């Protein structure tokens, strides 16, 4: 624990807790927190990817899971799916997050209504309708039906990298002229945007929104905007699950994940000190250490620092996983995060000026004194998790930078 914690930092770190406790009675907050604390393992998020055959549905499923197309467990691409059954792909780290590769629309004789019924539409949180050229009547009919059923959908125009490339070739753009290359990209995107808008208007959409993207680089074009738009249109809980589970593309995605996780750690700290009061040997503290351990594990997964996520990233960027691991300074490998490990840092945290921290926390939110150990358990557990989170953020930023480095020539 950072011994230099001040009134200002405590006030900032626990503003959300104070706000919640001012609005509602302690028991209500406590009950809500219990329900939300384990959201990564309790809340399902089901995303449906649809569109005509060959538009890039399966590729997008893989991109959302941070995977390459040829990886084990990836959705097969470049092959026509003949099955009428939706294919389920679970998120590599969070099995409650599912991305569904729906059968191509338009290639069968079903109406939009029948199609939705066949794919069991009610279970999806939202739909992404992809087109790689013009949108078709099949797309808009489906959208209309989804809207009728009070679900959200997003039009995505895929493969814009190909359009940009074609435009540059057709205009004989000099590849060494960065300005011209950029200008050609902008012009192509403007053309696609206008074309998609006019096309959907002609098909009866009154104010269509279309997101341009390429499966090969989700950091580019409209994918960040799509992500932001979907997040805004989801309820608070699903939004957090979405933020936590989407791949880390930029430093900004790390920041968003950090904000979402800050809200999760105080909830877990509170739950761990409210239930199953287990006094810890040699400490005047009590908390459910299993909750502390699983929260640390979740932090690792959210920031891509667990073994599986690191392997997937290493494969994606074509670097040995050891190279990525070499920059991780603070976060232990997932196998090391055990009860003993958590106990050990808890003991050390408790020794470090915890008294002042407890005083600061209780001074700011006196009602926390009703938790186990008069609030000291909460303060210690919270700062332990907060410290773990801060370190994971630093490590995730280093891994992101390492992954982006050009490959070394041998």
Ligand X SMILES: Nc1nc2c(ncn2[C@@H]2O[C@H](COP(=O)(O)OP(=O)(O)OP(=O)(O)O)[C@@H](O)[C@H]2O)c(=O)[nH]1
Site size toward Mg ion, by CB under 5 A: 3
Q: How far is the CB of 408 from Mg ion (least distance, A)?
A: 35
| Four-point Cα dihedral 287, 288, 291, 294, nearest 10 | 100
Nearest-angstrom CA–CA distance, 340 and 322? 26
Containing 270, the helix (H) or strand (E) segment is helix 251-274
| Binding range to ligand X, per CB under 6 A, among 57-65, 237-245, 262-270, 281-289 | 57-65
Please choose which of Mg ion, ligand X, none residue 104 contacts, taking the beta carbon within 5 to 8 angstroms, the exact cut-off set by kind.
ligand X
Nearest-angstrom CA–CA distance, 181 and 364? 56
Which residues 39-58 are close enough to bind Mg ion by CB under 5 A?
57-58
- One DSSP character per residue, 63-76 reads HHTT--TTSTTPPP
Closest to ligand X by CB, 191 or 351: 191
Q: For residue 88, which phi and psi values (nearest 5 degrees)?
A: -95, 130
Please choose which of ligand X, Mg ion, none residue 196 contacts, taking the beta carbon within 5 to 8 angstroms, the exact cut-off set by kind.
none
| Four-point Cα dihedral 392, 393, 395, 396, nearest 10 | 110
Which residues 323-342 are close enough to bind ligand X by CB under 6 A?
none
* 323, 334 contact by CB (below 8 A): no
Which residues 74-133 are close enough to bind Mg ion by CB under 5 A?
81
Closest to ligand X by CB, 86 or 286: 86
Site size toward ligand X, by CB under 6 A: 19
Q: How far is the CB of 143 from ligand X (least distance, A)?
A: 17
Nearest-angstrom CA–CA distance, 92 and 98? 10
Q: How far is the CB of 102 from Mg ion (least distance, A)?
A: 9
Among 30, 36, 37, 77, contact with ligand X (rule: CB under 6 A): 77
SS3 for 76-108 is: CCCCCCCCCCCEEEECCCCCCEEEEECCCCCCC
Nearest-angstrom CA–CA distance, 71 and 77? 11
Q: How far is the CB of 225 from ligand X (least distance, A)?
A: 16
Among 6, 85, 137, 216, contact with ligand X (rule: CB under 6 A): 216
Which residues 97-126 are close enough to bind ligand X by CB under 6 A?
104
Nearest-angstrom CA–CA distance, 209 and 130? 12
Q: How far is the CB of 58 from Mg ion (least distance, A)?
A: 3
Tokens standing for residue 48: 């449906």
Question: Is 240 an interacting residue with respect to ligand X (CB under 6 A)?
Answer: no
Which residues 351-390 are close enough to bind ligand X by CB under 6 A?
none
Q: Which residues bind Mg ion (CB under 5 A)?
A: 57-58, 81
- Residues near ligand X (CB under 6 A) are 53-59, 77-78, 80-81, 104, 158-159, 161-162, 214-216
């Amino acid at each position: 624990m950072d011994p230099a914690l001040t009134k200002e930092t405590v006030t900032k770190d626990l503003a959300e807790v104070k706000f919640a406790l001012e609005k509602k009675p302690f028991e209500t907050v406590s009950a809500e927190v219990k329900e939300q604390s384990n959201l990564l393992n309790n809340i399902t998020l089901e995303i449906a990817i649809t569109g005509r055959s060959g538009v890039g549905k399966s590729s997008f499923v893989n991109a959302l899971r941070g995977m390459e197309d040829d990886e084990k467990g990836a959705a097969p691409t470049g092959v026509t799916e003949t099955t009428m059954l939706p294919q389920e792909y679970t998120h590599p780290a969070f099995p409650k997050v599912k991305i569904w590769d729906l059968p191509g629309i338009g290639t069968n004789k079903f109406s939009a209504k029948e199609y939705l019924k066949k794919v069991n539409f009610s279970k999806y949180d939202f739909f992404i309708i992809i087109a790689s050229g013009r949108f078709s009547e099949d797309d808009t009919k489906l959208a209309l039906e989804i809207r009728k059923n009070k679900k959200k959908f997003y039009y995505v125009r895929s493969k814009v990298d190909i359009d940009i490339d074609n435009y540059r070739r057709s205009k004989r753009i000099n590849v060494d002229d960065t300005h011209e290359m950029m200008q050609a990209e902008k012009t192509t995107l403007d053309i696609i945007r206008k074309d998609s808008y006019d096309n959907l208007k002609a098909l009866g959409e009154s104010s269509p929104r279309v997101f341009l993207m390429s499966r090969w680089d989700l950091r580019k074009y409209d994918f960040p905007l799509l992500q932001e738009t979907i997040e805004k249109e989801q309820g608070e809980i699903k939004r957090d699950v979405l933020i936590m589970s989407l791949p880390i593309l930029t430093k900004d995605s790390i920041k968003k994940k950090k904000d979402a996780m800050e809200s999760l750690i105080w909830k877990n700290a509170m739950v761990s000190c409210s239930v199953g009061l287990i006094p810890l040997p040699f400490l005047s503290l009590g908390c459910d250490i299993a909750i502390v351990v699983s929260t640390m594990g979740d932090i690792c997964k959210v920031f891509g620092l667990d073994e599986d996520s690191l392997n997937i990233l290493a494969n994606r960027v074509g670097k040995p996983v050891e190279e990525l691991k070499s920059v991780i300074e603070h976060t232990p490998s997932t196998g090391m995060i055990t009860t003993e490990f958590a106990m050990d840092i808890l003991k050390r945290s408790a020794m470090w000026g915890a008294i002042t921290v407890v005083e600061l926390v209780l001074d700011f939110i006196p009602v926390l004194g009703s938790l186990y150990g008069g609030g000291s358990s909460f303060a210690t557990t919270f700062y332990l998790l907060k410290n773990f989170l801060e370190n994971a953020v630093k490590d995730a930023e280093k891994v992101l930078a390492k992954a982006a480095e050009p490959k070394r020539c041998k």
